Amino acid sequence: MCFSPWLNSRWIRQLAGKESHYYQAKTEIRQFIRKLIEKKLNEDEEKEEALLPTIQSNDQKNIFLNLATDLLRRGVFSWKNVEDESNIIVFGAFETTANTVYYTLMLLAMFPEYQEKAFEEIKSLFPKTGDFEVTYADTQQMVYLDLILNESMRVVPPVPVVSRQTSQDLKLSNGIVIPQGVQIAIDMFHMHRSKQIWGEDAETFNPDHFLPDNIRDKHPYAYIPFTKGIRNCIGWRYALISAKVTLAKLLRNYKFKTSFPFEDLYFVEDITMKLKTVPLLELQTRN
Where along the sequence are the contacts to ligand HEM (CB under 6 A)? 88-89, 92-93, 96-97, 100, 158-159, 162, 225-227, 231-235, 238-239
Report, in Å, the least distance between residue 84 CB and ligand HEM.
11
Report, in Å, the least distance between residue 45 CB and ligand HEM.
27
Adjacent-strand bridge partners of 183:
165
Q: Which is nearer to ligand HEM, 103 or 111 (CB)?
A: 103
Q: Which is nearer to ligand HEM, 159 or 265 (CB)?
A: 159
One-character DSSP codes across 128-163: S-SS----HHHHHH-HHHHHHHHHHHHHS-SS-EEE
Report, in Å, the least distance between residue 158 CB and ligand HEM.
4
Residue 5 identity = P
Q: Are the C-beta atoms of residues 204 and 222 closer than 8 Å to each other? A: no
> Of all residues in the chain, what percent are helix, strand and coil, respectively (each to 5)?
55, 10, 35
> 149: closest CA among 49, 61, 241?
241
Q: Which is nearer to ligand HEM, 236 or 266 (CB)?
A: 236
Report, in Å, the least distance between residue 67 CB and ligand HEM.
13
Q: Which is nearer to ligand HEM, 92 or 112 (CB)?
A: 92
Q: Which is nearer to ligand HEM, 207 or 225 (CB)?
A: 225
Report, in Å, the least distance between residue 87 CB and ligand HEM.
10
- For the chain, the first-to-last Cα distance in angstroms comes to 35
